[in-house]
Amino acid sequence: MAARVVVVTGASAGVGRATVRAFAAQGAHVGLLARGRDGLEAARREVEAAGGRALVLPTDVADADAVEAAAAAVEEQLGPIDVWVNNAMVSVFGPAKDVTAEEVRRVTEVTYLGYVYGTMSALRRMRPRDRGAIVQVGSALAYRGIPLQAPYCGAKHAIQGFSESLRAELIHDGSRIRLVMVQMPALNTPQFGWVKSYLPKFPQPVPPIYQPEVAADAIVWASEHGRREVNVGAPTTLAILGNKIVPGLLDHYLARTNYQAQQTDRPPQPGRRDNLWEPVPGDAGAHGVFDEEAHGFSPQWWAIANRGRLAAGLGAGAAGALGAALLARRR
């Protein structure tokens, strides 16, 4: 079987980097989009070490023309795109009253419009072939906003709305292109070391924290299955469900707990650089600094990915119990 051609935005670090590794392990050829060349080159070496081909494409996804040019380059050099993963993001941590209009615009352009531009470029190539998968890397924050991340939460909500509209259009057209959004929990990625922050302490993901490989496995799985949306981790499902049932209660709970929950007890590093406008040099890899706290396994996600085997096992167990009961009755 021919190797799949996959495009990953935000491929240089964090979830994107873990996703590149996961697709490479399957033998995929990968188009690598991000701003930082150091991380992209390291990702290329990892793909090639796994036996695949990789194309390094330094790209700011906030530039629609640059995204379109990158998509054209992938198809020219690697072949028709089978899977497009929208993952690139930037953020600003701090109360909305402290964030500037320019910073909100930048977060929106990268974290929301970058997904729109990537989706449009993918569709231009997938529609004539009537096949392909587009994976939107989302978050529990696409449904439930939290304090200190208003620009990012707004962008994730926007991705959710855009994807729902597009999905309905694809269904109307009878398209076989699959569009799936994967809603993520808190993840141990390098973003907390370089995110723009107005917080007095070093930022952190809200516990419980998961390793980026959990997210990457879900993204690869989603690209292969017909689910419209996938929640990863029990906290994601609980946050989405809670927001449907008791949103006002969550407002007060988050106001009371999430200022502290998003900060460590350490001050920011002196001379700390952020990646809002320019990439931070160097190869950050996939993991952040929270390895000791992060979980490498999600029972909830495992159950979703293995629900067929679980159903078969439960069915076999029920049949066995019924058979034993009937045998005992005969005796």
Residue type, 217: D
Report pLDDT for 145: 98
DSSP state of 330: H
Identify the residue whose tokens are 């629900």: 307
In-domain check, residue 317: no
Catalytic residue among 152, 198, 253, 259: 152
What distance in Å separates the CA atoms of residue 141 and residue 90, rounded to the nearest whole number? Answer: 14
Averaged pLDDT, 133-139: 98
In-domain check, residue 328: no
Strands, E, within the chain: which ranges? 5-9, 29-34, 54-58, 83-86, 92-93, 133-137, 178-183, 186-187, 196-197, 209-210, 229-231
Task: Quick: pLDDT tens for 69-113.
Answer: 999 999 999 999 999 999 999 999 999 999 999 999 999 999 999
**CATH code of residue 79:** 3.40.50.720
Beta-ladder partners of 58: 34
In-domain check, residue 312: no
- When pLDDT is cut at 50, 70 and 90, the band that residue 323 belongs to is very low
Compute the CA torsion angle 209, 10, 115, 210 (nearest 10 deg): -10
Examine the residue annotation and report whether 115 is marked as an active-site residue of this protein.
Answer: no
- The total domain count for the chain is 1
In-domain check, residue 311: no
Domain limits for position 154: 5-297
Angle 38-54-48 from CA coordinates, rounded to 5° = 90
Averaged pLDDT, 188-192: 98
Residue 229 reports pLDDT greater than 50: yes
Question: What would the two tokens of residue 182 be?
Answer: 């994967």
Mean pLDDT of the chain: 94
**Cβ–Cβ < 8 Å for 286, 212:** yes
Residue 233 reports pLDDT greater than 50: yes
Averaged pLDDT, 296-318: 72
- When pLDDT is cut at 50, 70 and 90, the band that residue 226 belongs to is confident
Report pLDDT for 270: 86
